[in-house]
Chains A and B, each alone.
Chain A
Amino acid sequence: MALLEVQNLSVGYNTRKGCLKAVERVSFVLEHAQSLGLVGESGCGKTTIGMALMGLLPPNGSVKNGRILLEGRNTLTMSEEDKRHFRWREMAMIFQAAMNALNPVQRVGNQIAEAILVHNPSLEKEAAKARVEELFDLVGIPRERITDYPHQYSGGMKQRAIIAMALACRPKVIIADEPTTALDVIVQHQILEEVRWLQQEFNIGIIFISHDISIVADMCHDIGVMYAGQMVEFGPWQAVFESPAHPYTKALLSSFPTLVGKKSDLTPIPGETPNLINPPEGCRFCDRCPEAQPACRTTRPEWVQIDETHRALCCKC
């Protein structure tokens, strides 16, 4: 059985101007100890997917349709009590902007211990303390910093503390939402290496959410490319990045500067993303797509299977 299966997930936000369709009919499967990358630009719905998986959508957001199966159990139909149990113990999240994810008036060690104690009420305080020390060793923060406050930490250490917190209850799935965006490259590299090692060590399935395609290409086995609330291409990273099928993936790749390989001209994607309150009837990318046909404007694109594992949402493929 797959570790996590998302079927036809749609999420909407109620706004004054109507329902904003932030995520529409997204499906993917994450296997045990695998990593999956969700890439796309701001506003494409990747963070919304993470929040929906955790059951942490803001009050005006709700899952309109679809199923989220964690080892076969639908998390959307769980009771609040079960959900609280499942959250953090089975699925944890590394939040975006780690700089602000820690409580500034609590010592870092206490915050992590709290996460452990809340989810394991029977645990002794001493045992929780020992577990926190163990976690600090794992993520590479010196033990003497356990009693520090977040402001005494550097950016990289805060990020490590957040990762320690995500690991606190030994979850099966971790959702890492832009885990290294605010960090310098050298620190980013160290943290990604750390995450890679922890994943192997504890068999964790990871969903990487990032706008930086070079990070997901390095870290993930499967890649889902998101555009305007839809997943437009899905497959193993070699397939998606080396022979992209969807015009958006191609455009995204050619607008991304790289360090290795031939230096080529960057081609920006013209235009802007569509309004998701009244999304276009046909393909959402057609206004910016160099390969668009008149039919793209009116007909909804269907998934096309390029090969067994690689698919794209485009009628031109």
Chain B
Amino acid sequence: MATIAMPGRVEAAAPARPAEPTGVWSWITTVDHKRIGTLYLFTALFFFVVGGTEALVIRLQLMKPNMGIVSADMYNQLFTMHGTTMVFLVIMPLSAAFFNYLIPLQIGARDVAFPRLNAFSYWVYALGGVFITAPIFLSLAPNGGWFGYAPLTTTAYSPTLNIDFWVIGLQILGISSLAAAFNFITTIINMRAPGMHLMRMPIFTWMSFVVQFLVILAFPVITVALVFLLFDRFFGTNFYTIAAGADPLLWQHLFWIFGHPEVYILILPAFGLVSEVLPTYSRKPLFGYPVMVYSGILIGFLGFGVWAHHMFSVGMGPIADSIFSLTTMLIAIPTGVKILNWISTMWGGQIRFTTAMLFGIALVALFTMGGISGIMHSSAAADLQQTDSYFVVAHFHYVLFGGAIFGIFAGVYHYFPKMTGRFLDETLGKWHFWVFFVAMNLTFFPMHFSGLLGMPRRIYTYDAGQGWELFNMMASLGAFLQGAGMLIFFYNMWRSYRQPATAPADPWGAPTLEWTIPSPPPDYNFAKLPQVTSRYPLWDEKGREAMIQHRAGDRIPSAEELHIPMPKSTAKPFVVALFMTCMLASLIFLHVEGMATVGILATIAFALAMVGTLYSWLLSPLE
């Protein structure tokens, strides 16, 4: 509250918009949700390149039979890190970039509920990402699959440090997701502008809301499963020791109780983005908005009742298999409702085929394909034929690449002008889209066939003469074509960065609150608190003009001129995140010969440093 300044005199030659702070330090100390969203976006894109490169090496190795590009052990590290990276370091944080950037703007708030906690979440993610990724350069990267099935990952079968990096790294990343989830739940519940009831909330915010609940319910379960594994590995407990009577399915159950909701954590934000994109470029309200909300909630809720469909082949017995088959088939209904509503949204609309729209339409098509192969897996009998084959690989790449990634790119093209004030070039964007679309299908469609022909997942090479050569060659070429598509995208971003910022407040004629304010928005977001009277305020004939807070050429006043108190920049969340990551990372030394004492001392020292900084953070005021 101390920063409220004197009413600033408006100078005649005042700049058109207040100056943004620059420099590395300003990014380390920022607590602005928009800047944190930008940090998430660029960090996640960096890891997308890392995870993509891992995929390219995998595809190079599998291009032809009996290739020797990498060793079997390095191959294990590559597929493990490809999965772990794409799930935890790419798709979740890309979604988090949009949560951060859009939720406060869509509900008409100045920032999130806990701006410093938000910075903390980002830094924990960034540092945890480095911790889990870096070991691959020493051939010490996790090598037990992204699902890390115990007992395979216990010391008896995986004695080296590789799995330790995975266990500790996921714990670090889990803290980031949990902290962010508490923050967004509070923000969405409590910071909506006057008049924005739940049923007027933009659908992206709705889907994000559901996702945060999935996070707070699913992540504690994997936290516990990982603690068991950590204790088994470091302290000799018996949770996964079969010789001591442990149940080999315990890990699988705990992992998938987390793992299946995790799938919806990955896809629902993309669904939300596409539900913003399709109405805008069809110039029609979303078809069946309430049904879209309820189906999202239902997907989230049912997502906790289907976990064992990942385990049909372990022999749970006919009753359990039937129940999980049925719940899995059931969850297809709300998902199908969404597909139907998207198509009905476009039906009869004035469709503009922008790049964002193309990505959005592609999501509807590709996710439907992935969904249909998913329904095939829901039959336990059919799943026994498909499990652990490339058919499953094809399935989840259709839903996560064709679904989540395409939805996120739809969001990137749609919101890029809002975030930066600059447009991405549409011609290059369409090149990016078509290359991606063709490459995606070229890569993953043939995997259905190699899978049905019996090619197992996770093998590092194969012999000729099994009918897999053509399909693998196609998949590898497709993967490299995807890389080319990404190069077009990065070139497009770079090109746009060198152009002047000309985007108006609402370049696409979109209807929700984030388009009533300048592009990019000033640090305080809304100069005046919006009064919401409908679901699509900018599409109302009456009251539309009153909603618009910025027109081309308007000067953007600073927060001080408007007497809006802003949170102070602070490095404390970064420092706490750093100490916490170091504290958990030091546990690694417990497994290094002769370093256990060092590890314990370092852990305690970092814990004390963390608690000290935390107190200093909590005792200093926000504003």
A and B pair up: no
